[in-house]
Structure 1
Amino acid sequence: MDMRPEPFVPPAPVPRQRQLTPPEIIWTALRNPLELWRQDAYRLPWMESKFFRERTIVANHPDLIRHLLVENAANYRMSEVRQLVLRPILKDGLLTAEGPVWKRSRKAMAPVFTPKHSRGFAGQMLAMSEQFIERYALIGSEGRVSDISADMTDLTYAILAETLFSGELAGDKDTVSNDVDALLHRMGRVDPMDMMRAPPWVPRLTRFGGRRMLEKFLQMVSDTMAARQERMRKAPDDVPQDFLTLLLQLAGPDGLTMEEIEDNILTFIGAGHETTARALAWTLYCVGHSPHVRERMEEEIGRVLAEGTEPVEWVERMPWVRAAFEEALRLYPPAPSLNREAIGADSWTSPEGETIHIEPGVTVLVMPWTLHRHELYWDKPDAFMPERFLPENRGSINRFQYIPFGVGPRTCIGATFALQEGVIALAVLMQSYRFDRVPESRVWPVQKLTTQPRDGMPMKVSPRHRTSRAVN
């Protein structure tokens, strides 16, 4: 008899029974795009829908995803709607740039995010995580409620600032959580004018008020760049060789323009830490509802830390911690939708012999949100089951079935960085504290720029016995 407890099923919109009307689609997309999808999106290998007579294909079959994003990726550009949403914020940053601009930026930043280089950030990630938990030091034995979503934004921002900018980001670090949330709330969601493909100069009513916050971030970037450039002029031999310096050194006719550098810095400040912050918060939330998983993680963390293992080794030495983080990424992918648009005609034939024909201009959606919860590819797809990602089980997961960081040429450049950051942060947090659910709270996922809790994520934070790291 299987004595394991039933896995926790975290909150998510129930798939719709019918196709929405155009006005319903607009209203739902404005409120929460995760609530758009009907049952077929979670049951069929692909499906079609129409909006204002425009054809859209939702791709769930792993082989179709490989075709679209890897084998014939050159035939698919970013969809117009996606760009209408994101380009006003990120302009020619890595997430929104295309063609030669994207290739230049990606090539320029690649050295910072190689696995070897990313592992070199482990010590800084550990130091900033240990510094962060000092904010919980005054919590009494009974614990207190804290908004974990905001807390994780603060933590990942501190890590990003230290690792990529050597702690020299301008601006007020104490207000960054609220600033990021305000920016994404106003600027990072679909407006009805976007869905109707109105040109960028047409006002977006939902974004009124967001311009001021965007200008604040732009000033922050400008001040950061100016301070580093001044330091590079005055003391070129005493400049941190970090992400910021690398970008500024690439400025010039054969490298990046100053505008492109500014756009990429804004992308990493505004979105680079946001994705990891959401993943950490959802992990703590799911673990807080899964005592048997938490017990495995706490035992593993205590054992590895007691052995004095260096943090660079924790990703491999803490399989349960890594698995919990990856399972949260499955259930709540930070980027819930990858939107593409066909440049030329294309077709794909399934292993069963069915063929899809894709005309130029057709929108193709590869959605980690539906793919990761799909009935064809996952056992108990809506349940939090980290054991799926333990080493002995990983082989059963298709490479194109699980894509929290995307796939193909535009795979997230910081995937290795984010995974290491997630494991180190979770180990430090769970070493000293427990994060428990607050029964009266109702956490609900919404899609803005990322998958985030609608009204925050209140959790009870309580101290636990701390296992000291051994000193070698």
Structure 2
Amino acid sequence: MDARPAPFVPPAPKPRTKPPSTLEMMRIVYRNPLELWGEPSYNEPWISVTGIGGPLVIANDPGLIRHVLVDNAKNYRMATVRQKILRPILRDGLLTAEGEVWKRSRKAMAPVFTPRHIFGFAQPMLHRSLAFADRYADGMISDIARDMTTLTYEILAETLFSGEIAGEPGSFETQIDRLFETMGRVDPLDLLRAPDWLPRITRIRGAKTMAYFRAIVADTMKMRVERLKRDPDGAPQDFLTLLLRAEGPGGLTRAEIEDNIITFIGAGHETTARALGWMLYCLAEAPWEREPVEHEIDAVVAGEPDPAKWVDMMPLTRAAFEETLRLYPPAPSINREPIEPEYYKDLYIPPKAAVLVMPWVVHRHRKLWDKPDAFMPERFHPGNRETVGRFQYLPFGAGPRVCIGASFAMQEAMIALAVLMSRFRFDTVAETKPWPVQKLTTQPEGGLPMRVTRR
């Protein structure tokens, strides 16, 4: 008889059983869009309605998702509402740029994220993770959500910017929270597709924080430009130098370089940080899943000195991380808009429709997953992982705009988890009552206070 406990079901909003009023919907969208979706969203292949902002298509069917993101991607641009939220923050960064600007940016960054370069980042990732682990004391209680933000920021600064990002990490943590609290939310006027000249309260509240980030970028670029002038051959050959050398005719403008730097400082670490925090929480609540992960990590860390090899040697750890990405996708929605109206099977996609591919919903869809709300890492164990459809699992998106840093993030996560979990055990305390909230990323409202115990 199987004595294994019932799977842990982590916190998530229950699907709504009836649609909200227009006023209630606007309030929910501003406060936490994850609470908006009803039972049909988790059961139907697609939903087509006309909302307050115009036509809306919710795409859950893997075939439809592939059609929008890959097969007919040329007919889809970034959705208007999404751009209204992100462009004030990232401008022409890789996440928000379109057309020729996006092509230039993607081409300029591709060399940084080749497998050879990513393997080369393994030692700096290990170094920063070890240094961070030294800050923990046995028995202390710490907000793991905040800690993971600090750790991934420091890894990003070390690997892509060679430790040369202006500003202090401590103030950075506070400011990134403020940025997503304000500018990272959907403004009701954006939902209504109101004209841009109408002032958005969210933009006004976030202006000071945005200025802080822009100042960091300006100072960071200035430091590196001066270093390149002093010693062109001795400067680090990293992400920052590569972007600066891509400036000029046919390459990136100075403004586009700034936008891509802030994209990676802001978004490039935040997504991984959230996934790490949620995983440590889920494992703490499911110790029967944590135990085999700890055994695996202990064996790998003790037996293999090269951290670049750890990703492939820790299938159970990776499976737990991938299951966390399923339940708490760092980017919970992918938004597109058709350039020309079209049909997919018997679904008509009208002009200017907001087409939502929502990993939050797709990853919990009743027709695509068994026990979709439960934390079950075995879904991604070797032998099972291969049965997961490419377009039912989208933590890094898909198609031409798939996340360029996916392999970087996976290696970073495996190294950080190996270091932290080989030294410490993270357990929930009475105050650990997270609630998932969408603010660009899937964040734990209330943080993740956890007890850190030396193993």
TM interval, short-chain normalised: over 0.9
What is the CA–CA distance in structure 1 between the aligned matches of 2:86 and 2:245, rounded to whole Å?
A: 27
Q: Find the counterpart in structure 1 of residue 30 from structure 2.
A: 30
TM superposition shift of 1:347:
1.3
1:52 and 2:52 correspond: yes
Q: Find the counterpart in structure 1 of residue 261 from structure 2.
A: 265
1:238 and 2:229 correspond: no
2:406 to 381, 392, 415: 415
In the TM superposition, 1:278-357 aligns within 5 A as: 278-349=274-345, 355-357=346-348
CA contact (8 A) 2:55 2:350 kept: no
| Aligned residue type for 2:130 | E
Q: Find the counterpart in structure 1 of residue 124 from structure 2.
A: 124
TM superposition shift of 1:309:
4.1
What is the CA–CA distance in structure 1 between the aligned matches of 2:434 and 2:110, rounded to whole Å?
A: 37
TM-superposition CA deviations, 1:400-446 (whole Å, max 9, x none): 11010000000000000001111110111101111111134321000
1:429 and 2:425 correspond: no
Q: Find the counterpart in structure 2 of residue 114 from structure 1.
A: 114
CA contact (8 A) 2:53 2:192 kept: no
What is the CA–CA distance in structure 1 between the aligned matches of 2:382 and 2:7, rounded to whole Å?
A: 20
Cα gap change, 1:111 to 1:197, in 2 (>3 Å): same
| Aligned residue type for 1:421 | E
In the TM superposition, 1:5-154 aligns within 5 A as: 5-52=5-52, 54-136=54-136, 139-140=137-138, 143-154=139-150
Cα gap change, 1:163 to 1:53, in 2 (>3 Å): closer
1:227 and 2:227 correspond: no
1:445 and 2:436 correspond: yes
| Aligned residue type for 2:318 | R
What is the CA–CA distance in structure 2 between the aligned matches of 1:338 and 1:114, rounded to whole Å?
A: 25
The more displaced of 357-366 and 91-100 is: 357-366
1:180 and 2:170 correspond: no
Q: Secondary structure at the match of 1:273?
A: helix
Q: Find the counterpart in structure 2 of residue 385 from structure 1.
A: 376
What is the CA–CA distance in structure 2 between the aligned matches of 1:450 and 1:198, rounded to whole Å?
A: 24
What is the CA–CA distance in structure 1 between the aligned matches of 2:436 and 2:70, rounded to whole Å?
A: 29
What is the CA–CA distance in structure 1 between the aligned matches of 2:258 and 2:34, rounded to whole Å?
A: 31
Q: Secondary structure at the match of 2:233?
A: helix
What is the CA–CA distance in structure 2 between the aligned matches of 1:231 and 1:238, rounded to whole Å?
A: 9
What is the CA–CA distance in structure 1 between the aligned matches of 2:48 and 2:28, rounded to whole Å?
A: 18
What is the CA–CA distance in structure 2 between the aligned matches of 1:233 and 1:370, rounded to whole Å?
A: 50
TM superposition shift of 1:202:
1.6
CA contact (8 A) 2:53 2:191 kept: no
Q: What is the count of residue pairs matched by the alignment?
A: 455
Q: Percent identity?
A: 60
TM-superposition CA deviations, 1:257-295 (whole Å, max 9, x none): 000000000111111100000000000010111111110
TM superposition shift of 1:384:
0.6
What is the CA–CA distance in structure 1 between the aligned matches of 2:22 and 2:29, rounded to whole Å?
A: 10
1:209 to 184, 205, 213: 205
What is the CA–CA distance in structure 2 between the aligned matches of 1:425 and 1:245, rounded to whole Å?
A: 26
| Aligned residue type for 1:429 | L
CA contact (8 A) 2:150 2:173 kept: yes
Q: Find the counterpart in structure 2 of residue 470 from structure 1.
A: none
Runs of 4+ in 1 over 4 A off after TM superposition: none
TM superposition shift of 1:106:
0.5
Q: Secondary structure at the match of 1:10?
A: coil
Q: Secondary structure at the match of 2:147?
A: helix
Q: Secondary structure at the match of 1:399?
A: coil
What is the CA–CA distance in structure 2 between the aligned matches of 1:385 and 1:80, rounded to whole Å?
A: 36
Q: Secondary structure at the match of 1:57?
A: strand
TM superposition shift of 1:153:
0.2
| Aligned residue type for 1:446 | V
TM superposition shift of 1:305:
1.5
TM superposition shift of 1:174:
2.1
> Where does the alignment leave 5 or more consecutive residues of structure 1 unmatched?
350-354, 465-472
1:374 to 355, 365, 368: 365
TM superposition shift of 1:53:
6.8
What is the CA–CA distance in structure 2 between the aligned matches of 1:185 and 1:155, rounded to whole Å?
A: 20
CA contact (8 A) 2:105 2:252 kept: yes
What is the CA–CA distance in structure 1 between the aligned matches of 2:126 and 2:79, rounded to whole Å?
A: 38
Q: Find the counterpart in structure 2 of residue 363 from structure 1.
A: 354
1:162 to 158, 164, 170: 158
> Where does the alignment leave 5 or more consecutive residues of structure 2 unmatched?
none
Q: Secondary structure at the match of 2:426?
A: strand
TM superposition shift of 1:302:
0.9
TM-superposition CA deviations, 1:356-395 (whole Å, max 9, x none): 1112211110000000001111111001111111111112
What is the CA–CA distance in structure 1 between the aligned matches of 2:59 and 2:85, rounded to whole Å?
A: 22
1:255 to 251, 254, 274: 251
CA contact (8 A) 2:431 2:449 kept: no
Q: Secondary structure at the match of 1:105?
A: helix
| Aligned residue type for 1:91 | R
Q: Secondary structure at the match of 2:47?
A: strand
TM superposition shift of 1:50:
2.3
Q: Secondary structure at the match of 2:379?
A: helix
TM-score computed with the length of structure 2 as normaliser: 0.98
What is the CA–CA distance in structure 1 between the aligned matches of 2:196 and 2:312, rounded to whole Å?
A: 46
What is the CA–CA distance in structure 2 between the aligned matches of 1:203 and 1:438, rounded to whole Å?
A: 43
TM-superposition CA deviations, 1:300-357 (whole Å, max 9, x none): 01111121341111111011111111111000001100011111021112xxxxx111
TM superposition shift of 1:460:
1.2
What is the CA–CA distance in structure 2 between the aligned matches of 1:356 and 1:48, rounded to whole Å?
A: 8
TM-score computed with the length of structure 1 as normaliser: 0.95
TM superposition shift of 1:199:
2.5
